[in-house]
Amino acid sequence: MATFLLRRLGHSLLLLVLVSIIGFALLNLAPGGPLSQFALSPGMTQADLDRIAEQMGLNRPLPVQYLDWAGGLFFGDWGASFRDGRSVLSVISGHLFATLLLMAASTIISVGLGTLVGVLGATRRYSLFDQLATVGAMVALSIPTFWFGLVAIYVFALELGWLPAGNMYTIGDQSLGDYAIHLILPSVVLALVNVAIWSRYMRSAMLDVIGQDFVRTARAKGLRSQRVLWRHIIRNALIPMITLAGLQLPTLLSGALVTETVFTWPGMGRLFLDSLNYNDYPVVMGILMFTAILVLLGNLAADILVAAVDPRVRLE
Amino acid sequence: MTERLRVQDLSVHFRSERREVQVVHDLSFTLEAGRTLALVGESGSGKSVTSLALMGLLPPPPQSRTTGSALLEGRDGADLLGIPESRRRRLRGDRIAMIFQEPLTSLNPVHSVGAQLVEAIRSHRSVSRRAAWDRAEELLDEVGIPEPAARLASFPHELSGGMRQRVMIAIALALEPDVLIADEPTTALDVTVQAQILDLLRRVQERTGMAMLFITHDFGVVADIAHRTVVMYAGRMVEAGPTEDILRRPLMPYTSGLMASVPLLETAGTGRSELATIDGFVPDPAAPPAGCAFHPRCAHNRPGRCDVPPIAVEAPAPDRSIRCARWRELAEEVR
């Protein structure tokens, strides 16, 4: 277990260095750059621009800039936003809660509903329900998230007026119920694709297990069919799903980016887009590194969890 | 002899793509207390389907349809094929139990051996967790697993094939069933382990007096364990009788063919040990040959006799039966 953790930590660090180099290079190779917006200001001279570049350390060679930034990352100094000078970590943490809230809500919906649909589809294979679920999953996977978000806003916010069209809370209200009402549309929209994916994987995992010899043994023991289903079929079918959940994390994060934009949700996804528009490189890079760490941690957690529930798996 | 299970006219139909195919035809036999009946035949002869039908483990209608009766005697006596699933579930694993051919995959990999044993006990008896674990330990000891207390916590992948089959037997014996169905329980095991498992089953039977239905294709195993033998071909009984009689004087050419395909120690290494085989394949149940289903593969096939239905079941001796159009002539020839 200890050697496993050490090795994984080593791999993760290597991966993070690679992500940081690629991200940094891509961002700085792109046309424009942090100075381009100052250049548009009236009366701005080249001497002024040079002075700003000097102040922001942007006139140094790129490798030097990278090493300076990456070294800071390592010691917890993630730099300051170009926009308002606040530290990148505090900017990110200010948006973290909203994103985690959205992701948690949508994960609960997608795992819960996806598991249910998958289990029912597998136990009632080729039934009307199963066929509808199959078609439904195809449709959900084909619709772009932003389009579904806009339709949801049009129907439930504008036409029916049941739910708010965006934001995380009503200014001046901020009660728990107020948060909940605002959470419904974006979390459902974000969950839609994942329900489809999760239910398909769950269905095939179930079918894999249902045909196994030990399920026949369980029935031969005279167990109630509910016990066979839960303890012998679903228990085993869920194991590969843990790994899938870890792998789905990046999809969830990029889905959150679109969803947060459509629903003006004050989370990291929207912060990322805004920061890109402002050429706020430190925040963009900070979010990139933060999500990379989150994904790596998610996968590590998934591997540890699989080892905990499957006695055949040893971490070494 | 006390009857434990009387199977009468068991037929099984499978439905595939709107066609119904009969895979077991009017099979009848009786299991007696303390005795073992072997059901012998090649793969595809319907012997495993027969056992799954008795257990009620075939897919529900309309995918499969089972007719006939299987009367379980003794307390909780019932017709296994006539009672609703809810009642049959309570008998399954309790009065009638089964062990399978594949010990490596027949145990759930994520639950401990103890948990799987205890589950079998507690699903039929309202005993305390503690008592069930004690009983589980006792059972492991009974089936010859060393350090039973420690093995309770083991997971199936930590045990060898032979040990896993012993665990399966312990699970099947947990509630001292009246009837045990063993579907090729030694086929997947090493020869030495095979002998140990057969020995174990025999000892348990002597102690508990359970009736055993032993399914196999191996006449060596039949000779070792079975009191009576039913030979099946293409879903039908073709020959039945006391194992000794059948081994000494098989009447049906198919039976002799199966017996000839078992290696014999006496001829080993003499250069005459080449194994006999039966040419051809078991017929497709969707398109069985007319008359005797074995006639296309039979060396003694006579057109006009063997391919004309129906072939009647006859009784050459009081407790023997045979389904062969030419058994009388063939018996003369041998003599």
CA atoms within 13 A on the CB side of B65: 9
Mutate which of B110, B117, B118 to test chain A, going by most A C-beta atoms within 10 A?
B110
Element (H, E) at A297: helix A281-309
B residues 66-125 closer than 8 Å to A (CB): 89-94, 97-98, 100, 102, 105-112, 119-120, 123-124
Check pLDDT > 80 for residue B219: yes
pLDDT digits 0-9 by tens, B178-197: 999 999 998 888 888 888 88
Q: Given this model, what pLDDT does residue B44 score?
A: 83
- Give Cα separations from B121 to A203, A215, A286, B105 (angstroms): 31, 17, 58, 21
Q: Kindly state the tokens that stand for A238.
A: 């869920």
Multiple choice CATH, A91-309, 3.40.140.10, 1.10.3720.10, 3.40.50.150, 3.40.50.300:
1.10.3720.10
Note the maximum CA span of chain A. Answer: 87
SS (H, E, C) B118-131: HHHHHCCCCCCHHH
Sheet containing B228-233: give its strands across: B96-99, B179-183, B211-216, B36-40, B228-233, B236-242, B320-322, B314-317
* Residue B8 C-alpha, separation from nearest chain A C-alpha, in angstroms: 22
**Distance (Å) from the alpha carbon of B319 to chain A's nearest alpha carbon:** 32
User: Average pLDDT of B194-214?
Assistant: 92
pLDDT digits (tens, 9 = 90+) for A251-296: 888 888 888 989 888 889 889 988 988 888 889 999 999 999 989 9
> What does the domain layout of chain A look like in residue ranges?
35-77, 91-309
> What are the pLDDT digits (tens) for B282-305?
888 888 888 888 988 888 888 888
**A236 and A71 Cβ atoms separated by less than 8 Å:** no
Asked if residue B145 lies in contact with residue A195, where contact means CB atoms within 8 angstroms, the answer is no
Average pLDDT of the residues of chain B: 89
The answer to whether the CB atoms of A221 and B105 lie below 8 A apart is no
pLDDT, tens digit, 9 for 90 and up, residues A91-148: 999 899 889 999 999 999 999 999 999 999 999 888 999 999 999 999 988 888 889 8
Measured between alpha carbons, how far is B136 from A293 in angstroms, rounded to an integer? 47
Band the pLDDT of B274: cuts 50, 70, 90: low
Structure tokens at A208: 């894999």
Closest chain A C-alpha to B93 CA, distance in angstroms: 4
Interface test with A, best of B16, B89, B102, B108 (most A CBs within 10 A): B108
**Per-residue tokens: B111:** 């639950």
Residue among A212, A222, A309 whose CB faces B89 most closely: A222
Is the pLDDT assigned to residue B335 strictly greater than 60? Answer: no
In sequence order, what are the beta bridge partners of B31?
A: B5
pLDDT in the model for residue B268:
57
DSSP assignment of A8-61: HHHHHHHHHHHHHHHHHHHHHHSSS-TTHHHHTSTT--HHHHHHHHHHHTTTS-
A282 token code pair: 């430190």
Name which of A69, A90, A72 is nearest A281 in CA terms.
Answer: A69
**CA angle (A162, A168, A170) in 5-degree steps:** 70
The reply to whether residue B102 touches residue A213, judged by beta carbons under 8 angstroms, is yes
DSSP character for A315?
Answer: -
Does residue A37 have a pLDDT over 90? no
pLDDT of residue B263: 67
Contact B106 A219 (CB under 8 A): no
Counting every residue written for chain B, the total comes to 335
Assign 3-class secondary structure to A205-265.
HHHHHHCCHHHHHHHHCCCCHHHHHHHHHHHHHHHHHHHHHHHHHHHHHHHHHHHHHHCCC
Identify the band that residue B57 occupies on the pLDDT scale cut at 50, 70 and 90.
very high
pLDDT value of position A80: 84
Rounded percentage of chain A residues whose pLDDT exceeds 70: 100
CA distance B139 to B63: 37
Measured between CA atoms, the residue of chain B closest to residue A217 is B106
Sequence length of chain A is 316
Q: Where are the beta strands (DSSP E) in chain B?
A: 3-16, 19-32, 36-40, 64-72, 78-79, 96-99, 179-183, 211-216, 228-233, 236-242, 314-317, 320-322
Over 90: is that where the pLDDT of B54 sits? yes
Distance CA A116, CA A98 (A): 27
pLDDT of B232 over the 60 cut:
yes
CB B259 within 8 A of CB B221: no
- Listed residue (A238, A245, A291, A302) closest to A268, CA to CA: A291
Instruction: Tell me which of A137-151, A171-185, B62-76, B220-234 is least confident.
Output: A171-185
Task: State what percent of residues in chain B have pLDDT above 70.
Answer: 95
**What residues have CB less than 8 Å from B103, skipping those under 6 apart?**
B161, B162, B164, B165, B167, B168, B185, B188, B189
On the question of pLDDT at B203 being above 80, the answer is: yes
The answer, for B198 touching chain A at a CB cutoff of 8 Å, is no
Residue range B21-35, pLDDT digits in tens: 999 999 999 999 999
Going by pLDDT thresholds of 50, 70 and 90, the confidence category of residue B332 is: confident
Residues of chain A found within 8 Å of residue B97, distances taken between Cβ atoms: 220-221
> How large is the ipTM?
0.89
How large is the average pLDDT for residues A28-49? 79
* Partner-chain residue, chosen from B109, B123, B155, that has the shortest CB–CB distance to A221: B123
Q: Which residues in A lie closer than 8 A to residue B155 (C-beta atoms)?
A: 311-312
Q: Give B254-299 as a DSSP string.
A: HHHHHHHTS--TTTTTTT--PPP---S-PPPTTSPPSSSTTGGG-T
Whether A4 shows a pLDDT value over 60: the answer reads yes
CATH numbers and ranges of domains, chain B? 3-95+177-263+276-334 (3.40.50.300), 109-175 (no CATH)
Residues from chain B contacting residue A311 (CB–CB below 8 Å): 109-110, 112, 155, 157
Band of the pLDDT at B205, cuts 50, 70, 90?
very high
Q: What is the DSSP string of B95-107?
A: TEEEE-S-TTTSS
* pLDDT average, residue stretch B247-253: 90
- Average pLDDT, integer, range B324-335: 80
Contacts of B89 in chain A (CB under 8 A): 222-225
**Is B157 in the A-facing interface, judged by CB distances under 8 Å?**
yes
Contact predicate B154/B99, CB 8 Å: no
What pLDDT, on the 0 to 100 scale, is given for residue B334? 63
Give tens-digit pLDDT for B111-160. Answer: 999 999 999 999 999 999 999 999 999 999 989 899 999 999 999 999 99
Q: How far apart are CA A310 and CA B125, in angstroms?
A: 29
Asked if the Cβ–Cβ distance from A223 to B90 is below 8 Å, we say: no
Task: Quick: pLDDT tens for A294-315.
Answer: 899 999 999 999 999 999 988 8
Query: In this prediction, what percent of chain B has a pLDDT beyond 90?
Result: 59
Q: How far is residue A26 from each of residues A23, A29, A269, B57, measured CA to CA in Å?
A: 5, 5, 19, 61
Residue A28 burial (C-beta neighbours within 10 Å; 0-12, 13-18, 19+)? middle
**Contact residues, chain A to chain B, C-beta under 8 Å:** 212-214, 216-225, 227, 231-232, 235-236, 239, 309-312
